[in-house]
Structure formats: C-alpha cells, structure tokens
Amino acid sequence: MHTPPLAIHRTPLVAVYGTLKRGLRNHHWLEGADFVGADILTSATLYDLGPYPAAKPQASKGIEVEVFEVSARLLAGLDRLEDYRVRTPKHGDFERVIRATAFGPAWLYLYNHDVAGCPVIRQGGWRPR
C-alpha cells in the first residue's frame, strides 16, 4: 500500500512597511503573529500619503520592512484592513503580491492608486508624523 507524502503547510509570511510595524497604530492587527525579522527590500518604493505609506512596484535603494508569520485568519484580517479584494485585486486600495525576503517569499501590499505629488521614500522607512 502506497502512502502519499504528507503535505507540508507553511504559514504565510507578510512583509509590512507602515502602520502595521511594531509600535505603530495598526500593529494590533498582527496580534498572534510571530515576528520573523527585519529586512530591506529593493523591489518596492514607498510613498508618504500622510497617515500611512504606500508601496509601488518600483526599484529602490532599499525600504525597511518587518516580516511576520501569520495565520490564514490574520491574513484575512489584513486583507480587510488594506481593502485587498481577492477576486478583483486591482479594484481595492491595495493588491497583495509575493516578494522575496531574507526569510523566504512574503506577501507585500502594493498600492493601486495614483501617488503623484506624494513624497517618495526610495531608501529607509516611513515614519508617522
């Protein structure tokens, strides 16, 4: 009798760059998530929208992110917070895409709207005002 190999389920990783980071106002959305570590991503550029930043898929000198291991329930909550629409990702405020991190592939929320006129952050991190 052949026993199929067990599927290894990996809890998703999420890379956050704004108000979800530790010590900031929306970090409570990650309650129960495991902090994996900090990293620098060169595959995205941040824009300061005032109350929060927005990432766009543009090369940068390196933006600061924090990587967390999350459950499916936490990821669904983040999707609601970021107005990510699974069936129509381009119609919400953010689209969720995979980006390489030092800890493995992680979800990153990219902003769907225009950022013309917003201050750009091509290196470092966003800081609340």
Q: Residues 31, 64, 66, 82: which is the catalytic one? A: 82
Q: If DSSP codes are grouped into helix, strand and coil, which group holds residue 34?
A: strand
Q: How many angstroms separate the CA atoms of 60 and 18, rounded?
A: 16
In the block, tokens 């290196």 appear at 123
Establish whether 66 is a catalytic residue. no
Q: Is residue 78 a contact partner of residue 14, using CB atoms and an 8 Å limit?
A: yes
Q: How many angstroms separate the CA atoms of 122 and 82, rounded?
A: 22
Q: Which two tokens stand for residue 17?
A: 């760059």
Active site residues: 82
